[in-house]
Amino acid sequence: MTFDVDLFVIGGGSGGVRAARIAAGEHGARVALAEEYRMGGTCVIRGCVPKKLMVYASSYLGAFEEARAYGWNVQTPTFDWMTFRHRLDAELDRLEAAYRSGLAGAGVRVHDCRATLEDAHTVRLATGETVRAKHILLATGGRPFVPDLPGAEHVLTSNDIFKLDALPKTVLVVGGGFIACEFASILNGLGVKVTQFYRGTQILRGFDHEARDRVADQIIASGVSLKCGTDVSAMTKTPQGIRVISTDGAETNYEAVVYATGRVPNTQAMGLEKVGLAPGPRGEICVDGWSQTAVPSIYAVGDVTDRINLTPVAIREGHAFADTIFGARPRKVDHDLVASAVFTHPFELGTIGLTEEDARAAGPIEVYATSFKPMRAAFAGNGQKVMMKLIVCAETRRVLGCHIVAPEAGEMIQLAAIAIKMGATKEDFDRTCAVHPTMAEELVTLRKPVRVA
């Protein structure tokens, strides 16, 4: 059988681009890639990158206030959304161009259009052209999910925030996960009056309970009106914005409503039925440890597989796929002990490994934890306390989990993750001399367990 290419990648996000570049640039495969929107995918165009830049933008208000306590004479600063947005647009253009030149440099042929499956070895482009490929990689990512309820057509999602022409004065954020907490925090920091609804009892379900409480406390302390146990019943458009009827019976008008109620894999109208692939219960492409689907020539990586929906994981999956198929270096991605961070502010949540609850269910543990006002904020009169917590296996002494709620917790957890991934014990942490004065030094000076369970 002759093929036009060795690999056809559908989707130009983190996983697809990495796979294409490694397959073509390092392993000499003939590779084509189709992307229907902008190169870079969710992370670069409407996710991690613009979100983090908004986190930085929104952190200045607190920094200006803190600066006064340190003796700076700061005039009341104002924020100009369009100045930021123009610079953000330019930065995303730059990054997209870098992605394109990386692909071109590796020799990948890019098709700027939608592509769907025609059969196990054929991809149909929106132009009508078909391409025969020895292997096909599905890397189409995910999209925001908005529940079907009256008025849902009026809401914004995280995709829309970066393209607003003006910041609304009042916003309702719905959801209690990564995206809801981050955007509630960001918009609040940019001066928007934010209300956040979460249907459950505490935000960030699945994270360590103390960390969740601490993040909730600081979200509230920073000015967000967080309402747990509350959801939207219906919405109607009004001249002033959106009138929201909530499950507690209240009716409130918000200039905008942002839904952050999860994401679903992009598998609709992809031609899966033509190759006999049935998506999983959440619409995901089901794959094995090699990212291979039930059709041997078709693989899938990243959010479309709904494994761990994080950029670095998608990149690893794409890289491992390319090394396995084209580089004669077969390897599976290790999905165990993946650290992550929720970029709320002033305190982020950095986390790796088991929560206290999960560890407790698995066997005897010791919990080491501390909570304190960091020097910098304490000097400025900020009363918020950071939290550091280690979950230790009572038998092996291995650190099973680490949870940090603090400024720059994302940076800290990345380094703690190396030790924990290596199997460090509590005693290994203790043997490590502190860097003083820092917040992170507390991780190596936790002397007595606060709980044994």
Binding-site member from 143, 193, 199, 398 for ligand NDP (CB under 6 A): 199
Report the distance separating Cα 286 and Cα 291, nearest Å: 8
Residue 23 neighbours by CB under 8 Å, 6+ apart: 6, 7, 29, 31, 322, 325, 326
Q: Which of 168, 176, 189, 350 binds ligand NDP (CB under 6 A)?
A: 176
- Of 27, 319, 403, 436, which is the active-site residue? 436
**Within positions 140 to 159, which residues make up the interface with ligand NDP, using CB under 6 A?**
147
Choice between 197 and 429, CB closer to ligand NDP: 197
Using CB under 6 A as the binding rule, the residues of this chain from 323 to 342 that contact ligand NDP are 340-342
Q: How big is the site for ligand NDP, counted in residues (CB under 6 A)?
A: 23
Is 178 a residue that touches ligand NDP (CB under 6 A)?
yes
The piece of 174-182, 326-334, 383-391, 413-421 that touches ligand NDP (CB under 6 A) is 174-182
- Specify the residue, 121 or 263, whose C-beta has the smaller distance to ligand NDP: 263
Of 170-178, 292-300, 362-370, 394-402, the window that binds ligand NDP (rule: CB under 6 A) is: 170-178
Distance (Å, whole) CA 16 – CA 208 = 32
Q: Does residue number 216 form part of the binding site for ligand NDP (CB under 6 A)? A: no
Of 12, 13, 50, 177, the one binding ligand NDP by CB under 6 A: 177
**Long-range contact pairs involving 85-91 (C-beta distance under 8 Å, separation at least 24):** 85/162, 85/164, 88/50, 88/53, 88/54, 88/162, 91/49, 91/53
What is the distance between the alpha carbons of residues 141 and 12, in angstroms, rounded to a whole number? Answer: 9
- From the list 62, 262, 279, 283, which residue makes contact with ligand NDP (rule: CB under 6 A)? 262
180 binds ligand NDP (CB under 6 A): yes
CB of 378 to ligand NDP, least distance (A): 27
Task: Looking at residues 221 to 260 of the shown chain, list those that interact with ligand NDP (rule: CB under 6 A).
Answer: 231, 260
Distances (CA, A) of 379 to 67, 71, 330, 384: 11, 11, 54, 12
Q: Identify which of residues 170 and 344 has a Cβ nearer to ligand NDP in the complex.
A: 344
Q: What is the DSSP annotation of 166-190?
A: S--SEEEEE--SHHHHHHHHHHHHT
The smaller minimum CB distance to ligand NDP, of residues 308 and 380, is found at 308
355 binds ligand NDP (CB under 6 A): no
| Residue where the block lists tokens 């014990």 | 425
What Cα–Cα distance (Å) separates residue 198 from each residue in 96, 172, 180, 228, 250?
34, 11, 9, 5, 15
Q: Indicate the residue among 343 and 429 with the shorter CB distance to ligand NDP.
A: 343
We find the least distance from the C-beta atom of residue 412 to ligand NDP, in angstroms, to be 15
Q: Which of 263, 307, 345, 403 binds ligand NDP (CB under 6 A)?
A: 263
First to last CA, the chain: 61
CB 355, CB 453: distance < 8 Å: no
> What would the two tokens of residue 305 be?
């597989």
Q: Exactly one of 261, 266, 267, 351 binds ligand NDP (CB under 6 A); which one?
A: 261
DSSP string, 349-398: EEEEE--HHHHHHHS-EEEEEEEE--HHHHHTT--PPEEEEEEEETTT-B
Name the closest residue to ligand NDP (Cβ).
177
Is the bond preceding 346 in cis, omega lying within 30 degrees of 0? yes
Among 166, 167, 110, 115, smallest CA distance to 139 is for 115
Angle (CA) 366-417-350 rounded to 5° is 80
13 binds ligand NDP (CB under 6 A): no
| Residue 351 is a binding residue for ligand NDP (CB under 6 A) | no
Of 182 and 208, the one with the shorter C-beta distance to ligand NDP is: 182
Residue type, 29: A
Q: Using the rule CB under 6 A, give the single segment among 172-180, 370-378, 396-404, 417-425 that binds ligand NDP.
A: 172-180
- Cβ 174 to ligand NDP, closest distance in Å? 6
Task: Please provide the DSSP assignment of 292-356 as one string.
Answer: B-SSTTEEE-GGGG-SS--HHHHHHHHHHHHHHHHSS-------SS--EEE--SSSEEEEEE--H
Smallest distance from ligand NDP to CB 212, Å: 10
C-beta of 77 vs 147, nearer to ligand NDP: 147
309 is a site residue for ligand NDP (CB under 6 A): yes
Phi first, then psi: give them for residue 368, nearest 5 degrees.
Answer: -110, 130
Closest distance to ligand NDP from the beta carbon of 232 (Å):
8
Indicate if 86 belongs to the active site: no
Task: List the catalytic residues.
Answer: 436
Q: Which residues form the interface with ligand NDP (CB under 6 A)?
A: 147, 175-180, 182, 198-200, 205, 231, 260-263, 309-310, 340-343
